[in-house]
């Protein structure tokens, strides 16, 4: 049984093919071509952390593919009442054809997948966010062609998005420069695993110099609200501003996985400016995840 818990679960060639397929599926949808490879199939959507884009993109994708999706919050499952996650995996995977999970601890989704009879998709954990990276790479390819050999600057927290960007740098063969405040660096083991492609740089201006893509995320993610003031102080010099974007290569793009806080991690003139492709990036969650579900669905 194949699962998609991180970008490392697929071969490099499979990831490139998946991005190409996502672009094809997007074009087919816009032409109005019906395509229902998952007709009568059901996706179980387990949400321990809420998200607008994740729910709508997965649910819409299944509907467009001829299937359906069931939304499960902690109130709707035994997970919220303390049932062992292995037992929930055994029960749910006997009733649905695919399962996506958005949760906190990455170890939890690994335990779930180990007991699941059907493919499990990581829709976000505290450690990785691989589906967002599929959308990000698709967006870059659509606007600028292959990302191989390009330079990406990650500005901000060494969080789950940063970890998945490290995996993406390995899998898609681009250079990743990470600029984080002291104390907010990515996990050392994950960082070392990408040593051939990744550089840790303290100065965000230096990280952005000559970059083809600049990416950032909120300073305080869901569950970190109590740290908001402390993080605002630590990240004050890591805002993506117009001055920072002027350090990049000609034609450089800006991305943000949203929701964004204008005036904090990104200036309004950047996210709303001509280099920003965040709305294409948000839309591509739908197309990239459809390509992923189609790939995993072939084994159903």
Residue numbers annotated as active site? 102, 129, 132, 217, 257, 285
Q: What is the DSSP string of the chain?
A: ---BSSGGGS-HHHHHHHHHHHHHHHHHHHHT----TTTT-EEEEEESS--HHHHHHHHHHHHHTT-EEEEE-GGGSGGGGT--HHHHHHHHTTT-SEEEEE-S-HHHHHHHHHT-SS-EEEEE-SS--HHHHHHHHHHHHHHHS--TT-EEEEES--SHHHHHHHHHHHHHT-EEEEE--TT-PPPHHHHHHTTTTEEE-S-HHHHHTT-SEEEE--SS-TT-GGGHHHHHHHTGGG-B-HHHHTTSPTT-EEEE-S---BTTTB-HHHHTSTTB-HHHHHHHHHHHHHHHHHHHHTT-
């Amino acid at each position: 049984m194949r699962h998609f818990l991180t970008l490392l679960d697929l071969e490099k060639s499979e990831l490139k093919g998946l991005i190409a397929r996502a672009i094809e599926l997007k074009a087919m949808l816009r032409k109005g071509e019906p395509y229902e490879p998952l007709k009568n199939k059901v996706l179980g959507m387990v949400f321990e952390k809420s998200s607008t884009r994740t729910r709508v993109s997965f649910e819409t994708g299944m509907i467009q593919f001829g299937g359906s999706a069931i939304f499960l919050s902690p109130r709707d499952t035994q997970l919220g009442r303390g049932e062992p996650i292995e037992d929930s995996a055994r029960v749910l995977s006997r009733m649905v054809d695919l399962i996506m999970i958005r949760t906190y601890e990455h170890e939890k989704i690994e335990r779930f997948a180990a007991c699941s009879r059907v493919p499990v998709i990581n829709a976000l954990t505290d450690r990785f966010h691989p589906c967002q990276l599929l959308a990000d790479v698709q967006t870059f390819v659509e606007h600028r062609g292959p990302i191989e050999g390009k330079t990406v600057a990650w500005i901000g927290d060494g969080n789950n998005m940063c970890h998945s960007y490290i995996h993406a740098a390995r899998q898609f063969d681009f250079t990743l420069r990470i600029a984080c405040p002291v104390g907010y660096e990515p996990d050392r083991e994950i960082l070392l695993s990408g040593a051939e492609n990744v550089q840790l740089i303290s100065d965000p201006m230096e990280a952005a110099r000559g970059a083809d893509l600049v990416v950032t995320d909120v300073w305080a993610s869901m569950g970190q609200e109590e740290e908001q003031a402390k993080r605002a102080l630590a990240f004050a010099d890591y805002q993506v501003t117009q001055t920072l974007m002027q350090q990049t290569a000609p034609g450089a793009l800006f991305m943000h996985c949203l929701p964004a806080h204008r005036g904090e991690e990104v200036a309004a003139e950047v996210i709303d400016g001509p280099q920003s492709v965040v709305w294409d990036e948000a839309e591509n969650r739908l197309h990239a995840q459809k390509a992923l579900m189609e790939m995993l669905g072939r084994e159903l």
